[in-house]
Structure 1
C-alpha cells in the first residue's frame, strides 16, 4: 500500500510540474487584462460583471473570465469576498500578491511578468536539452542571434525589456537605499554600468544629490533614456572601457555572462576607479543551494533563466563570487544581505 501511495504521489507531482506554465500564463493574463488595476480603482470588492465591464473590450466573455478568476483565486492572486448582506453573487478583492500586478504602482512586477512570459523569451526554454547535448546558446538557437543583438534589432522587445529592467530597478533601489545607507556617502561620481535607461541611478542620485551619476549602457539603450538631473547618459561597450568614476555600480549585469566575460568586465571596472579609494558595488543573487529562505528556489530558477536567455550567464554562490572578483582585480570584498532576492556585494582593489 505504501508503495502504491508513493507512486500515486509521484504521478500527482509530475502532473503539477508538467502544467506549471499554466500558473504563469494565468498571471500574465491577469496583467494583460489589468484586473488588479480595475479592482484597485474600484476601491471595494467587485462582481464579475463589474470587472468584465471595465476590461478594454467591447464584448468580454464573462464565462472565460470566471474560469480565469477561479484559478487566480485558487493561487491566492485574488480572493473571494463574502458579502455581509448574504447575497449569492461572488465578489472579488485584492491580495498581497495582486498589489504587485498594478501597472502604475511605484513598486510593480507587471512589466517583468509581461517580458518573461513573452513568446520571445519563452521560445529559448525549448532548447535547454539540446544545449545539454551539444552546447551552444539557447536564445541563439531559438532566434538566430544573441539577446542583446535581438534587442537592438527589435524596438518592441527593447522597450519591453527596458520597462522590465526599470521596474526591477525600483524594487532593488528601495531595498538598497534603506539597507546601504552609508555606502554612497563618500562617493562624488558613480558609474552605473549596464544602467539601462537610468532608473536605478536616478534613485541613488535622488537620495545622494551630491553624486554625479554616469549612466553607461549600449548606445541603442541610452538613446531611449529620459533626461534626469544629475545624470549623464553615456553610450559604449563595457567590454572595451568603462567611464572613470569614484565607484562603479552594477545591478544584475554579471549574471548575464560567463566567467571569462565577467573577468574582462571586472578588469575594466578596476581600471575605471581609483587605486586606493575606489570601490565596486554589485547587486546580484548569491545562490543558497538549500533554498532555505522566503524566496525558496528562486536563485536556482534564475540560474535557469540565465541558461535560457544569456550568453553563458549564471547565478553564483558566495564562493564563486569571491573567486571571480579576485580574478578581476578585487582582492577584498564582503556580502551584505538584504530582505530581498538579491544581495549587495561590495568589493575593493586593495
Structure 2
C-alpha cells in the first residue's frame, strides 16, 4: 500500500509540474481572446451563446479566420471557465451546434466596460513586460537594480519615457485597474474624503482616480501629481489641476495625500523618502496619507492572497527594489517615514487602504 501511495503521489507531482511548466499557455490564450475581442463579440449578440462561425465572422481585419485554430483555443478557455460551451440540436435536421457564451470571468474582458481588465492583460503579457521574468535566475545569482533593466538595459520608467507605445499601453493598463479599484474604494472608504478640502494624488497617472474622487466630493480641490511625460497625456478634468514633478524632491501641499499602487514600486529606503515628503506636504496635526496597496498575507486563504504573492514577483520583475509588504513591514516603513499611527481598512478588492497619521 505504501508503495502504491508513493507511486500515486509521484504521478500527481509529475502532473502538477506539467501544469506549472505550461501555465503560461493560459495567459497566452487569454491574451488571444482579448486581442480578438471574443467576449465583446458574444456580448454584442445580447450575451446569448453563439457559434464559432458567428464569432469568426465578427473578428476585425480577418477575411478568412481559421475556425479550427479558434476552436482549439476556445476549448482551453472553456476548460478554464473563461467561456461556457453548449451543445444544441437543431430542429428538423438533427445536427448539433456548439455555442459559446460568457461567464462571470469573461465579463472582465469586455473592452468598453467600466470593469474591464482587458488593457492590463495586453500589457501584462506583452513581450516587453514578459522578458524580465526570463532574467530571474540571473537576477538572483548576480543581483542588480531590476530584472527589467537586465532585459532592456534601462529601468521601466526610463523605458516608458522613451517608448510612446509602451507608455500608452502602460497608462491604459493602470487606468483600467484604477477604475476597478476606484469602485471598491468608493464602496469601502465612503467617509475617507469627507473632512478634507484639498487632496494631492501622488503618481496619479492620467487622473482617473482623482477624477472619481472629485466627482463624488465636489468640495475637494484636487491635484494630480506625476512625472511630466505622464502628465502631458492627461485629459482636462473639472476640479483637478495636473502638476508634473518628482515625488522624491517635493510633493504639493494639501490637507491629505493619496497614493494608489505607488510605494510597492520602490525599495524601503525610497519609500521612506516619499513618506517624509508626504509628511512635509500635509498639516502637522490634521493631515493624513491614504495609501492603497496590497497587504500581504503569505499564509492566508483569502480571495486575493495568492495573487498578492504573484504581484510581489511582478515587482521584482519590473521595478528597482519594489515589493509587496506585510502589515509589519508597512508599520516599519510608516514609522520611519514619520507616521507613527495607522489603521488598515479592508475594501472589496486586491488592495487594502492604509490610513496613516503624523501624530
- Shorter-chain TM band: over 0.9
2:346 matches 1:337: yes
2:30 matches 1:22: no
Q: How many Å separate the matches in 2 of 1:6 and 1:47?
A: 41
- Residue in structure 2 matching 1:7, options 10, 17, 26: 10
SS in 2 for 1:83: strand
Structure 2: which 5+ residue stretches go unaligned?
Answer: none
Q: Residue 241 of structure 1 contacts residue 268 of structure 1 at CA under 8 Å; is this kept in 2?
A: yes
Q: Which residue is equivalent to 1:36?
A: 39
What does the per-residue CA deviation read over 1:236-257, in whole Å, with 9 as the maximum and x for residues that have no partner?
Answer: 0101100000000000000000
SS in 2 for 1:347: strand
SS in 1 for 2:356: strand
Give the aligned CA root-mean-square deviation in angstroms.
0.9
2:50 matches 1:49: no
Relative to structure 2, which stretch is displaced further, 161-170 or 73-82? 73-82
2:72 matches 1:67: yes
The verdict on how the C-alpha distance between 1:146 and 1:235 changes in structure 2, with shifts beyond 3 A counting, is same
Q: Which residue is equivalent to 1:201?
A: 210
Q: CA deviation at 1:58?
A: 1.4
Q: How many Å separate the matches in 2 of 1:307 and 1:178?
A: 31
Q: Which residue is equivalent to 1:99?
A: 107
Q: Which residue is equivalent to 1:116?
A: 124
Q: How many Å separate the matches in 1 of 2:114 and 2:180?
A: 9
Q: How many Å separate the matches in 1 of 2:86 and 2:240?
A: 47
Q: CA deviation at 1:193?
A: 0.2
Q: How many Å separate the matches in 2 of 1:89 and 1:215?
A: 52
Q: Which residue is equivalent to 2:329?
A: 320
Q: Which residue is equivalent to 1:164?
A: 173
Q: Residue 90 of structure 2 contacts residue 96 of structure 2 at CA under 8 Å; is this kept in 1?
A: no
What does the per-residue CA deviation read over 1:156-194, in whole Å, with 9 as the maximum and x for residues that have no partner?
Answer: 000000001100111111010111111100111100000
Q: How many Å separate the matches in 1 of 2:21 and 2:29?
A: 15
Q: Residue 298 of structure 2 contacts residue 305 of structure 2 at CA under 8 Å; is this kept in 1?
A: no
Structure 1 runs of 4+ aligned residues shifted over 4 Å read 84-87
Q: CA deviation at 1:70?
A: 0.6
Q: CA deviation at 1:234?
A: 0.2
Q: Residue 191 of structure 1 contacts residue 214 of structure 1 at CA under 8 Å; is this kept in 2?
A: yes
What does the per-residue CA deviation read over 1:271-301, in whole Å, with 9 as the maximum and x for residues that have no partner?
Answer: 0000011000010000001131112411100
Count of aligned residue pairs for this structure pair: 350
What is the 5 A alignment of 1:165-244?
165-244=174-253
Structure 1: which 5+ residue stretches go unaligned?
Answer: none
Q: How many Å separate the matches in 1 of 2:87 and 2:64?
A: 28
Q: Residue 291 of structure 1 contacts residue 299 of structure 1 at CA under 8 Å; is this kept in 2?
A: no
Q: Residue 87 of structure 2 contacts residue 96 of structure 2 at CA under 8 Å; is this kept in 1?
A: no
Q: How many Å separate the matches in 1 of 2:282 and 2:64?
A: 59
What does the per-residue CA deviation read over 1:47-106, in whole Å, with 9 as the maximum and x for residues that have no partner?
Answer: 010100000111111111011111111110000124375650100100000000000001
SS in 1 for 2:296: coil
Under a length normalisation based on structure 1, what TM-score does the superposition of the two structures give?
A: 0.99
Q: Residue 189 of structure 1 contacts residue 211 of structure 1 at CA under 8 Å; is this kept in 2?
A: yes
The verdict on how the C-alpha distance between 1:63 and 1:84 changes in structure 2, with shifts beyond 3 A counting, is closer
Q: How many Å separate the matches in 1 of 2:305 and 2:192?
A: 28
SS in 1 for 2:97: coil
Q: Which residue is equivalent to 2:149?
A: 140
